[in-house]
Structure 1
Amino acid sequence: MKSTILKTFVSRFLILILNFGLVIYSTNMWGSEGKGVISIVIADLTIISFFANIFVGSSMSYFASKFKTEEILPFAYLWSVLIGVLIPVIFSFNHASEYSNYLIGLSVLSSLLAANVNLFVGQQNIKMFNLYTVLQQIVHIVFIIIIIYIIKITSVNSYFIAQISCFGVLFLMSTFQVLKHTNFKKISFSKKIGSKLFDYGWKTQLSAFLQFLNNRLSFYFLEYFKGIVSVGVFSVGIAFSEAIWTVSRSLSVVLYADVVNNKNSNEAIEKTKVSIRISFLITLLFIFTMLLIPAQVYSMIFGKDFSQTKEIVLFLSPGILAIATSNIIGYYFAGINKLRILNVKAIIGLIFTIISSFFIIPKWGIRGACVITSISYCLSSGLLFWRFYQITEFHIHDFLLSKTEINLLLNKVLKKK
């Protein structure tokens, strides 16, 4: 498992670097307003993905080892197209229609790709999962270069055209790998299996959707009270948060794949604790590194509109650390099909976010959004920690790597070199 964690971490670290490169480019190319447009469209895409993920998300991973691919993949593909078209059309009645067509293309193709990638996770094919998560960044950047510098489309539309092209190419590649091991004669739509996929999927996605609202609701409050430019500025700080979370998400994916295929509960708990301490320490290191960088450097990198970036990261850092560690516990509970606690923790954070945003964001703007987001993260994470340590003993060393584990990690890194 530790070897797989290391490989996954390396791939996610590469994604982090590429993602930052993309953020830096987009802020300098299109400014705070353009970055705000990208943030809102991607936020809409994420909302749609929660509906799509009822069939293409965790349910694909969870049931991959329990049912045949031919029995679950057809549900995922059909649902991806249905939701990918229907929800953006509904959104178009309340949003400007300028980006509706892009949103449909992004929704359908990203969901189809997610079905294949999450199938790899359920099959414990973490190598393919890592490959496609890295390629999503690399291929997107390649298409941006082609569209802007060769085709000469320089508006913010080029970002979305490139992303649609990226998802399309990767879906075709991954589908070829999935279908070459598939017996087309055994493809079927079983009502019983579909019901199980839906039942597990909507429960996991309800929690994820509520957590997303905790993460993104401030975007919509900021847009309403302070305008799209403030969303662009705030989104860079959130991008830092999500970049740092690549560590915990890497560990979480590996842990989840292991837990759903592991019948030894004590072993699963110990592996969860190992993941917690790795995530805690690496996240802490990243936060300290980012806070040591002078504010002027952020302005120089992202542009003069983003002089508040260091302050945003500072206010968000307690919540960033809380989520980075509690993500691990959340995936443990999902892996053992204990989903109620995930919904409860997300609801608590969401209620706080909604109530406080009406009072704080109109007065404090971006700074208020940071404080609200950080407290919300800490509240929801605190509940997960409390529940996890009800079923196991708490020790301070759960957050500290042992000498043996440090040596093991160092040895693996040196071998890689």
Structure 2
Amino acid sequence: MSFKKLIFQSIIWRGFYFVSVLMLNVFIARYFQASNSGSIYFIINALAFYLLPVSICLEAGIGYFTATKEIRIYKLANFSFFWALLIGSIITIFLLIFGPGFSFLTQNKGNLFIPLYYLCGCMLTNYAIAIMYANRNFTLPNIVLILINFALVAFLVLTRNNPGAKSIFIQLYFLGFLVQGIILSIVLVAENFEEWKLQLPGSREISKIIRYSLQALAANIIFFLVYRIDYWFVSWYCSAADLGNYIQVSKLVQIFLLIPIIIASVIFPYIASGKTKESVAQVKSICHLLCLLFSIACLFLAIAGMKLFPLLFGSSFDKMYEPFLLVIPGILSLAIYTPVSAYFSGVNKVRMNIYSSCIGLVVIVVGDLIWIPKFGIRAAALVSSIGYFTCLCFSIIAFMRIENASLSNILLFDRQDFDYIKSIIKRNGKNSINES
């Protein structure tokens, strides 16, 4: 399947997933209000950080070696299942011994295993999706994720007048991560059942997987801090309501990032499979088009956001507008940075992502320490934009050197960019929808 068709198919199915994520986010915001929903997302933020070291970003190595076809799929999948089972066993023992010491985990008996549900569920999900995406299967994984999200939305709708359902929803919400991980693992095995063997990779193959994954781990930990360390600064210096408003702004940024991430999930395996020259020009066009589309979307929200945000999320989210305006430059920076980062991963230059993230992290930490105590969530948004832009500047310079490209060629729109989007729509629209 061509690069353009892959992107179109990915956008179609990830677009449906985007709608389900947005719906779930809106219902959680309205159901729990700013202060309580902020607390939920703050817990998820902490668990997401723990996920990075326990998973060692194995999905990066698995996806890379699936795309290059150096290691058989069943070996990669078996190794990922083994790793998830090992980590899950360790987490279970830890929770049984030390879990009662954490007040959040003992507020309700069902809460004790929330970290297990989230961490193991995300590991299984990420590992399975990495293999499926590298095999250019974007349909089945997204159908599973969409159904889980719609089930959670349905629960909120049916129990909206029952105050006691809130604690049940929290348990179901985190359990949903484990359920989707198990389902996706079963789907992965079923897809490859004819050639499946209960065999792990050899020691040399494991060494290759771990080496690549650890590079990705370093890059992802640093970028995670670039992207979310401001949550902790806001929680220290601002009120719970401010935290809820700021995290909701951050969730909007995440929603904007879904499309670049979708495209990155195609760019990475496509380039890793050896089709670098064919993809570089298309990466440039994609970055230009994303920047244009996001500028239009951000302009709309800049005009309508003051009234739209409280109307959409609830009256307690009345402090979102100004931080959103200040984070718009950051959104545009990330729209370009994300596909370029996927390019570096695909050509096995993950260190470039590490360098750019380190520079951005220093900018954000210093800026947050100085300005958040004085100016609150508005400062957090502005500093984040500056940090994201710094990451982008380094990546563009590195991209120019690797591909011998000029700055004007990278930054300026040209006819090729608009011809590219026309060709996607005209040639691949009907075919891609039918194939999916």
Match of 1:37 in 2: 39
**Among 82, 98, 105, the residue aligned to 1:97:** 105
Residues 1:75 and 1:398: Cα distance change in structure 2 (over 3 Å): farther
Q: Find the aligned partners of 2:162 and 2:307 in 1 and give their Cα distance.
A: 35
Give the TM-score, by structure 2 length: 0.86
- How far residue 189 of structure 1 moved from its aligned partner, in angstroms, is 5.0
Deviation at 1:257, TM superposition (A): 1.8
Q: Decide whether the 8 Å contact of 1:247 with 1:282 is kept in 2.
A: no
Map Cα deviations across residues 294-317 of structure 1 (whole Å, 9 max, x no partner). Answer: 412211222222112221211000
Distance 1:86 1:210, change over 3 A: farther
Higher relative contact order (CA 8 A, sep 6+): 2
Give distance in 2, aligned partners of 1:279 and 1:173: 33
Q: Is the 8 A contact 1:19 1:137 kept in 2?
A: yes
> Aligned pair in 2 of structure 1 residues 3, 237: CA closer, same or farther (>3 Å)?
same
The answer to whether 1:13 aligns with 2:15 is yes
- Contact kept in structure 2, 1:70 and 1:187, CA below 8 Å: yes
Are the structure 2 counterparts of residues 329 and 25 from structure 1 closer, same or farther at C-alpha, using a change threshold of 3 Å?
Answer: same
2:401 maps to amino acid = Q
Residue aligning to 2:30 = 28
2:392 aligned residue (381, 385, 390): 381
CA 1:52–1:150: 2 relative to 1, 3 Å: farther
Report the residue type matching 2:277 in the other structure: N
Residue pair 1:32, 1:305 contacting (<8 A) in 2 also: yes
Give the drift of 1:140. 3.7
CA RMSD of aligned residues (A): 2.7
2:297 is matched with 286
Instruction: Give the alignment partner of residue 126 of structure 2, picking from 101, 106, 114.
Output: 114
Residues 281 and 24 of structure 1: CA distance in aligned 2, closer, same or farther (over 3 Å): same
Structure 1 partner of 2:366:
355
Query: Hey, what does 1:173 align to over in structure 2?
Result: 183
User: TM-score normalised to the size of structure 1?
Assistant: 0.90
Match of 2:71 in 1: 67
Q: Map of 1:142-181 to 2, 5 A cutoff?
A: 142=154, 144-145=156-157, 148=159, 153-155=164-166, 157-180=167-190, 181=192
1:366 and 2:377 aligned = yes
Correspondences of 1:277-356 after superposition (within 5 Å) = 277-356=288-367
Offset from partner CA, 1:274-329 (integer Å, 9 cap, x none): 32223222222221222121412211222222112221211000011101111101
For residue 228 of structure 2, the aligned residue among 205, 216, 226 is 216
Can you give the 5+ residue segments of structure 2 that lack an aligned partner in the other structure? Answer: none
Q: Percent identity at matched positions?
A: 18
Task: Please give the alpha-carbon distance, in whole angstroms, between the structure 1 residues aligned to 2:336 and 2:86.
Answer: 35
Alpha-carbon shift at residue 47 of structure 1 (Å) = 0.9
Q: Quickly say closer, same or farther: Cα 1:171–1:135, change in 2 above 3 A.
A: same
1:139-175 per-position Cα deviation (integer Å, ceiling 9, x unaligned): 44345556x46997422x3443223343343334322
Distance 1:140 1:409, change over 3 A: same
**Deviations along 1:383-407, whole A, 9 cap, x unmatched?**
0011101223231676456442243
Shift in CA distance, 294/108, structure 1 to aligned 2, threshold 3 Å: closer
Contact 1:16 1:246 in 2 (8 A): yes
